[in-house]
Amino acid sequence: MHIQNDQSLIYKIQHLGWVFVLLITAVASIGFLALYSAAGGNLDPWASKQILRFSMGMAGLFVVALIDVRWWYRLAYPMYLGALVLLVIVEVMGHVGMGAQRWINLGFIQLQPSEVMKVAVVVALAKYFHAATPSDMKNIKFLLPAAFLIAAPVALVLLQPDLGTSLMIIMAGITMFFISGAPIWMFLLGGAAVIGAMPIAWMFMHAYQKKRVMTFLNPESDPLGSGYHITQSKIALGSGGVDGKGFMQGTQSHLNFLPEKQTDFIFTLWAEEWGFLGGVFLLLLLGAIFVYGTSVALKCRHAFGRLMALGLTVNYSLYVFINVGMVMGLLPVVGAPLPLVSYGGTSMLVALFGFGLILSCNVHRDSKLPRM
């Protein structure tokens, strides 16, 4: 596919989407403040590394955004295959931590390929469905390869084991099927199949996974054991009140009652210190990113850009929904970070790469892509 650059660099920079960049920076800055507080008023060990990763990621975001979206169309399948190979490498020589084999040690960063796959599967499905007709979306033979694009990484991630991430990949895939126009009866049939398979799935779940489900249903049954995380999170959220206890004044977090305060439960730390108002403010910023990403998708004139931008936006929003629901006790604890806020190298860099792809769709919304 021959690609001709028909836009100047100045035009691309002017139409980059600077409001989106500002929103991303604002959310990440809240994360820096929260990590600074989590370390007791120190940049080390978390905030300094997070700021460095964000700076690197933002440089990458601008590069990704300025590259013609037609190149990303061309690289969709190679990107997916690369992520799949990384998942295989994890199984062979991955780094083991916290009882799971999920990382590849690159020296300067612990790369988690499953995070990369969450973006890669959306981009690959966007390309696959790019030229799909309504009749194609009703054809089982046409949909089977797309289902395989989801099933292959899910199987590899389950081997790590990482049930939470595998479910995220499945939900991202289902989203792509839905926005591409798959008939509703397929989702209803799939939902019925999932409900029917739950007893069998329960038999194959690990003991810690079963304990998470039971703790979600009744966290008070083991308040000092499996229910400790969510119990302390609820106490911290409630103690923050309307306007919070003040910056670095959260007792639950700073007296170390709140586990994983720099990663999965960072929203709890923020809400304890800044209260209900601070929590709502952060959620509004996160929601504004969703609205902007959706707006980019709706303005895009090619199906690939619409599907990719909307798929990545929904994927990001699922993380926000699951993380906040988890720390409030509305969902089981599955280890989902809060995008741009939770401490983590791969999750930060991959999130910014995904946002860069959304901005590429915005800059090149009028590009002409091949039908096949």
Cα-to-chain-centroid distance, residue 260: 18
Give CA angle at 306 (86, 342), nearest 5°: 50
Mean per-residue pLDDT over the chain, rounded: 86
pLDDT band at 145 (very low <50, low <70, confident <90, very high): very high
* Contact (Cβ atoms closer than 8 angstroms) between residue 74 and residue 1: yes
How far, in Å, CA of 122 to CA of 357, rounded? 11
How far, in Å, CA of 155 to CA of 52, rounded? 33
Question: 103 vs 121, which has greater pLDDT?
Answer: 121
Burial class from Cβ neighbours inside 10 Å (0-12, 13-18, 19+) for residue 10 reads exposed
Domains in the chain: boundaries: 76-337
The pLDDT > 70 percentage for the chain reads: 88
pLDDT band at 163 (very low <50, low <70, confident <90, very high): confident
pLDDT band at 105 (very low <50, low <70, confident <90, very high): confident
Residues contacting 31, CB < 8 A, separation 6+: 50, 266, 338, 340, 341, 342, 343
Residue 313's alpha-carbon distances to 28, 295, 306, in angstroms, are: 17, 10, 11
Q: Which two tokens stand for residue 57?
A: 């990621």
Q: Is the peptide bond before 183 cis (omega within 30 degrees of 0)?
A: no
* Contact (Cβ atoms closer than 8 angstroms) between residue 308 and residue 353: no
Average pLDDT over residues 95-115: 72
Question: 108 vs 142, which has greater pLDDT?
Answer: 142
User: Tokens 């959706």 label which residue?
Assistant: 294
Q: Which two tokens stand for residue 184?
A: 């509703």
pLDDT band at 276 (very low <50, low <70, confident <90, very high): very high
Question: 107 vs 257, which has greater pLDDT?
Answer: 257
How far, in Å, CA of 297 to CA of 175, rounded? 14
What's the predicted TM-score (pTM) here? 0.89
Q: Where are the alpha helices (DSSP H) in the chain?
A: 9-14, 18-38, 47-66, 69-93, 113-128, 140-158, 163-179, 184-204, 207-217, 228-239, 251-254, 266-299, 303-327, 345-363
For the segment 17-63, what is each residue's pLDDT rounded down to a tens digit? 899 999 999 999 999 999 999 998 899 899 999 999 999 999 999 99
Can you give the pLDDT at residue 124? Answer: 97
Q: Where are the alpha helices (DSSP H) in 42-183?
A: 47-66, 69-93, 113-128, 140-158, 163-179
For the segment 283-323, what is each residue's pLDDT rounded down to a tens digit? 999 999 999 999 999 999 889 999 999 999 999 999 999 99
* Ranges 212-216, 228-232, 253-257: which has the least confidence: 212-216
- What values do phi and psi take at 115, rounded to 5? -65, -40
* Contact (Cβ atoms closer than 8 angstroms) between residue 340 and residue 28: yes
**Among the listed residues 182, 138, 130, 148, the one whose alpha carbon sits nearest the alpha carbon of residue 309:** 130
Q: Which two tokens stand for residue 306?
A: 């619409």
Whether the per-residue pLDDT at 5 is higher than 60: the answer is no
Can you give the pLDDT at residue 27? Answer: 97
How far, in Å, CA of 244 to CA of 51, rounded? 25
Average pLDDT over residues 223-233: 74
Q: Is the peptide bond before 219 cis (omega within 30 degrees of 0)?
A: no
Look at residue 94 and give its three-state secondary structure: coil
Question: 196 vs 184, which has greater pLDDT?
Answer: 184
Can you give the pLDDT at residue 290? Answer: 95
Q: Which two tokens stand for residue 308?
A: 């990719």
Task: For the chain, count helices (H), then strands (E).
Answer: 14, 3
Using CA atoms of 96, 97, 101, 105 in order, give the dihedral in degrees to the nearest 10.
Answer: -60
